[in-house]
Amino acid sequence: MLSDVTTPQDLDDRLRESLAALTAPRHRTDPARPVAEGATLTGAQLLELFDAQVTSRQLDLAGRWLRSFGEGYHTISSAGHEGNAAVAAALRPTDPALLHYRSGAFYCVRAAQAADPAAGSVLLTADDDPDGTPTPPTAPTDPADGGDSADGADSPDPTDPGDLSDSADSAGDSPTVLDTDPTDDGGDGRARLAVVRRPVAAAYLEAARDALRGMVASGQDPIAGGRQKVFGRADLAVVPTTSTAASHLPRAVGMGLAVERLRRLDARGAPTQADPSFRASWAPDAIVVCSFGDAAINHASATAAFNTAGWYDHTGLRIPVLFVCEDNGLGGSLRSPQGWVATALRSKPGIRYFAADGADLVEAYQAAREAAAWVRRHRRPAVLHLSTVRLLGHVGAEAESAYRDAEEIAADLAADPVVATARRLVEAGLAGGGELLDRYDEIGWQIRRLAEQVLDEPKLGSAAEVVAPLAPRRPVRVTQAVADAGLYAAGPGAGARLEAFGGKPPELSGPLTLAQSINAALTDGLLAYPQMAVFGEDVAAKGGRYGVTGGLRDRFGPARVFDTLLDETSVLGLGLGAGLAGLLPVPEIQYLAYLHSAEDQVRGEAATMGFFSQGALRNPMVVRVAGLAYQEGLGGHFHNDNSVAFLRDVPGLVVAVPARPDDAAAMLRTCLASAVVDGSVCVFLEPIALYHARDLYGDGDGEWLAGYAEPGTWAAGHVPVGRARVYGVGSAEDLTIVTFGNGVRMALRVASALADEGIGSRVVDLRWLAPLPVADLIREAAATGRVLVVDETRRSGGVGEGVIAALVDAGYVGAVRRVAAVDSFVPLGPAARQVLVSEEAITQGARTLLAR
**DSSP-assigned letter for residue 649:** T
What are the φ/ψ torsions at residue 668 (nearest 5 degrees)? Answer: -65, -40
Catalytic residue among 299, 639, 692, 718: 639
C-alpha to C-alpha distance for 799 and 735, rounded to whole angstroms: 20
**DSSP-assigned letter for residue 542:** S
* C-alpha distances out from residue 569 to 281, 308, 316, 539, 598, Å: 29, 10, 21, 16, 5
- Judged by DSSP in three states, 823 sits in coil
Is 639 among the catalytic positions? Answer: yes
C-alpha to C-alpha distance for 791 and 804, rounded to whole angstroms: 11
Q: Which residues pair with 681 in a beta bridge?
A: 621
Half-sphere exposure in the Cβ direction for 622 (13 Å, CA): 28
Half-sphere exposure in the Cβ direction for 790 (13 Å, CA): 34
Q: Are 448 and 8 in contact (CB under 8 A)?
A: no
Count of residues in the chain: 852
What single string gives the DSSP state of each residue in 52-104?
HHHHHHHHHHHHHHHHHTT--------TT-TTHHHHHHTS-TTS-EE--SS-H
The continuous run of DSSP H or E covering 244 comes out as none
C-alpha to C-alpha distance for 238 and 481, rounded to whole angstroms: 30
C-alpha Rg value of the chain to the nearest Å:
31
Q: Which residues pair with 686 in a beta bridge?
A: 626
Closest by alpha carbon to 326, among 368, 288, 381? 368
Pairing of strands 584-589, 561-563: unpaired
Half-sphere exposure in the Cβ direction for 626 (13 Å, CA): 27
Tell me the helix, strand and coil percentages in the chain, rounded to 5. 45, 15, 45
CA torsion, ordered 325, 330, 331, 337, to nearest 10 deg:
90
Closest by alpha carbon to 148, among 192, 199, 185? 199
Closest by alpha carbon to 814, among 750, 735, 739? 735
Q: Are 49 and 86 in contact (CB under 8 A)?
A: yes
C-alpha to C-alpha distance for 164 and 745, rounded to whole angstroms: 67
C-alpha to C-alpha distance for 326 and 336, rounded to whole angstroms: 12
C-alpha to C-alpha distance for 525 and 256, rounded to whole angstroms: 24
Q: Which residues, 6+ apart, have CB-to-CB distance to 613 below 8 Å?
A: 223, 224, 232, 234, 240, 469
C-alpha to C-alpha distance for 489 and 527, rounded to whole angstroms: 8
* C-alpha distances out from residue 678 to 140, 269, 490, 584, Å: 47, 27, 25, 12
C-alpha to C-alpha distance for 587 and 590, rounded to whole angstroms: 10
Q: Which residues, 6+ apart, have CB-to-CB distance to 807 below 8 Å?
A: 777, 778, 781, 787, 816
Q: Are 108 and 386 in contact (CB under 8 A)?
A: no
Residues annotated as part of the active site: 639
